[in-house]
Every structure is written in C-alpha cells, then in structure tokens.
Structure 1
Amino acid sequence: MSLANHLEELQRKHGDIEREIDEALLHPSVDDLEIVKLKRRKLALKDEIEKLRSQPTTH
C-alpha cells in the first residue's frame, strides 16, 4: 500500500470514529467510557497521520 493510500485510509477511519462519537453524544444512554475509548482511538489515528505526514518522502 502506498503512503498516500495509507494516509487516505487512516483519514477515513478518523472520520468514521468522529461520526461515531457525534452519534454517541446524541444518545445519553451511551456509556461515557465508550466515548472516551472512541476519542482515544481517534487521537491515536490523528497522531499516526501526523507522524506519516512528517516523514520525508524518498523518490
């Protein structure tokens, strides 16, 4: 998988988690711990995306 494709996939997953969080926040019955877990996953993806973007490209 190319770096660009990998970044696109990570960004897609990041967006999916963001939508999950938004949906969960609309339902008061959702466990706060579940929201925290989703936010941690989202942050980990963001960190990975930034790490990949900061890597020098080699051609």
Structure 2
Amino acid sequence: MSMMSHLQELKKKHDQLSEAVETAQRAPGSNDLEVAQMKKKKLQLKEEIARIEEGA
C-alpha cells in the first residue's frame, strides 16, 4: 500500500469515526465509555495522519 493510499484510508476511518461519535452523542442513553473510546481512537488516527503529513 502506498503512503498516499494509507493516508487516505486513515482519513476515511477518522471521518467515519467522527460521524459515529456524533451519532452516539445524540442518541438517548448512549454509553459514555464507548463514546470516550471512539474519541480516543479518533485522536490516535488524527495524530498518525499528522505524523505522516509532516514526513511527506
């Protein structure tokens, strides 16, 4: 997998996770722990994207 396609895949996952977090936060009775885990994963993806873009 090329670096560009890997970067695009990471951005796609970040966007999907962002939508999932928003949906979960709007849902009544949402699980706060799940939302926190999704946010943590989203941040990890954002940091990885930034590292790749800085190195490119």
Could you tell me the TM-score, scaled by structure 1's length?
A: 0.90
Q: Which runs of 5+ in 1 are unaligned?
A: none
Cα distance in 1 between the residues matched to 2:53 and 2:3: 9
Question: What residue is the counterpart of 1:6 in the other structure?
Answer: 6
Give the greater-gyration-radius structure (CA).
1
Q: Which has the higher helix share?
A: 2
The one-letter code sitting in structure 1 at the alignment partner of 2:17 is I
The question of 1:18 aligning with 2:18 is answered yes
The one-letter code sitting in structure 1 at the alignment partner of 2:22 is D
Aligned residues: 56
Cα distance in 2 between the residues matched to 1:55 and 1:26: 37
Cα distance in 1 between the residues matched to 2:11 and 2:28: 27
1:28 is displaced (CA, Å) by 2.4
1:52 is displaced (CA, Å) by 0.5
1:53 is displaced (CA, Å) by 0.6
Q: Percent identity?
A: 36
Q: Which runs of 5+ in 2 are unaligned?
A: none
